[in-house]
Structure 1
Amino acid sequence: MGKILKFRFEHGITAAYLILGCLWILFSDNIVEGFTDDKVVLSKVQTYKGWFYVVITGILFFLFLKRHLKRLREAEAKAKESDRLKTAFLANVSHEVRTPMNAILGFSELLKNPELTGEQQKEYLDIIEKSGERMLLLINDIVAISKLDTGQITTYYTLTDVNELVEHLHAVYLTVANEKGLLFTISERAPQDKSNVYTDKEKLVSVLTHLLKNAIKYSADGTIEIGVSLENGYYRFSVKDDGIGIPEERIENIFERFVQADVRLSREYEGIGLGLSISKAYIEMLGGNITVESKEGLGSKFTFRIPAKENFD
């Protein structure tokens, strides 16, 4: 891409120089000769014409070059930022893998102790199980991103009841939310007679799961709400929380990859910053879009829409 831009710029500059020069020679001579035929005057005018052309083309080339260099610097800055985020991402992945792996290996070793009580064994097994689940989620996100990059992910549309889906996820995460002292409610439902939609249920569940886990993860108290409604031919899903919120300067790129890895909270909260990027990609595959409203310290509300398809087409 960089070579193509360079090629076009160089040829554009050359073409502009030749065209301007030819036009200047053709028309300036005719204009001057229309006013005078004095050889001395014409000789002086030729000198002034040369200086004028040099100044004008110099200014134009400066403007062209400035614009081109600005684009190159922006591209360079984006490339450096991408490399920096990837480096932070890899460091965070290393941390996210080591932490549960150390727990699995450590408590597996402790389980070899024959003097452990049944309660202790159960406690250690629970820790190993949760650590394994944490690693599996990490691997699933990395695999999902890889498949999205290579176009290996396809959609499988089935008839899905959106109300039942929301109620199921509410039941699944109610206990987890309550254990953190959070109130978890269903804010709204679609009309009961219009709650069925043809969509990829697995991807829809994945998106809502990512949003709910984030809401619970980043909330210390308050309320979490999940809801679905039917509006203008689209099902609108929303997940709202009273958590830490998102800084204003990060809202614009919150759906980009590796963003979570770039914040200081990445060590305090589990995750590698791929969930929202994956969710956005899935929603777009389903023909929808996602938005976020958030204020730092006051919570966030993620809203996405998918077409209300009543038939498979």
Structure 2
Amino acid sequence: MNKKDPLIDLLIHDLTGPLSVVLTSVTNLLNKESTYGPITERQREALQRILRNSQKAQSFLYDMIEIYRCEEGVFKKNSFNIESVLKESLCEAFEVIDSEVAEKLYRSLSREVFNQILEEHNVILEITGKYLVSPFMHDEKKVKQILRNLITNALKYRRSRMKVAISGDTEIVITVEDDGPGITEDKRNAIFKRFLNIEENKGINIQGFGFGLSCVKDLIESMGGEITVNIKEGVGTRFTVRIPPLI
């Protein structure tokens, strides 16, 4: 990674420091009542939310650094359970869209309860194939970033429902679809352009949509995979991602 890049310098030096201070301070308030004094349950919940969102901001910062690293082909190979990573990605995506749902998901103690909460909010989760039980071998952090970006976009722009499906016996296949407004034909080629603002003609602002998908596309291609999109204006959008295991 090129440390002389001013953007990288900003990310590493000017943002990581303040975030670390916030994380440390909130953690101390939560865990060191003997030093800082007791807190009420409502205060604890508020601090936990601050902690999670600060961790999310820190994670986003590290994700941006990963974008630059992936361009150099730097991967951290490890085996992981794709269902666990998917659940974490869903929780973090809901933190952005609806923190109350995120709280319920974080507190769920079983797969059944987790899935029931999702169904109550019109999110269908489907995992089939080899990786339901077998670990997947690749860079866990990058797979999680891909899932989180796609799920967050689907939650933002759906009208009422969305579906996340994972399948595959060799490569992993991720499908994320929603029933949102879609994108007009003349703008579809632009959705993977970085820093692009796309204004949907029905007045729905999808600012930031292009940047997130650009990051996702860069990551997927650096991992030897591919992403395709099927968009029907007024009906919805479906993204399909294929990623081979890292040998």
- Amino acid in the other structure paired with 1:199: H
Cα distance change of structure 1 residues 165 and 147 upon mapping to structure 2, 3 Å threshold: closer
Which of 209, 212, 216 aligns to 1:275? It is: 212
The DSSP-based 3-state class of the residue aligned with 1:273 is helix
- Paired with 2:151 and 2:82, the residues of 1 have a C-alpha distance of 16
Which of 278, 287, 293 aligns to 2:224? It is: 287
Deviations, residues 280-306 of structure 1 (Å, cap 9, x unaligned): 111112211000101122111110111
Q: What residue is the counterpart of 2:236 in the other structure?
A: 299
Q: What residue is the counterpart of 1:154 in the other structure?
A: 74
Displacement of 1:196 after TM fit? 2.1
- Amino acid in the other structure paired with 1:278: C
RMSD: 4.1
Displacement of 1:214 after TM fit? 0.3
Q: What residue is the counterpart of 1:165 in the other structure?
A: 85
- Amino acid in the other structure paired with 1:242: D
Displacement of 1:230 after TM fit? 1.1
- Paired with 1:124 and 1:234, the residues of 2 have a C-alpha distance of 41
Q: What TM-score, normalized by structure 2, do the two folds share? A: 0.59
Aligned residues: 191
Cα distance change of structure 1 residues 247 and 138 upon mapping to structure 2, 3 Å threshold: farther
In the alignment, structure 1 segments of 5+ residues that lack a partner are: 1-117
**Structure whose alpha-carbon radius of gyration is higher:** 1
Asked if 1:238 corresponds to 2:175, the answer is yes
Displacement of 1:234 after TM fit? 1.9
Choose between structure 1 and 2: higher helix proportion: 1
CA contact (8 A) 2:131 2:168 kept: no
Which of 105, 116, 125 aligns to 1:186? It is: 125
Q: How does 1:1-313 map to 2 (within 5 A)?
A: 139=61, 143-147=65-69, 151=72, 154-170=74-90, 175-176=101-102, 182-191=121-130, 195-222=134-161, 224-230=162-168, 233-259=170-196, 261-263=197-199, 268=205, 271=208, 273-308=210-245, 312=247
- Paired with 1:264 and 1:171, the residues of 2 have a C-alpha distance of 27
- Paired with 1:188 and 1:140, the residues of 2 have a C-alpha distance of 28
In the alignment, structure 2 segments of 5+ residues that lack a partner are: 1-39, 95-100, 106-116
- Paired with 2:234 and 2:138, the residues of 1 have a C-alpha distance of 35
CA contact (8 A) 1:141 1:274 kept: no
> Taking every aligned residue pair, what percent have the same amino acid on both sides?
27
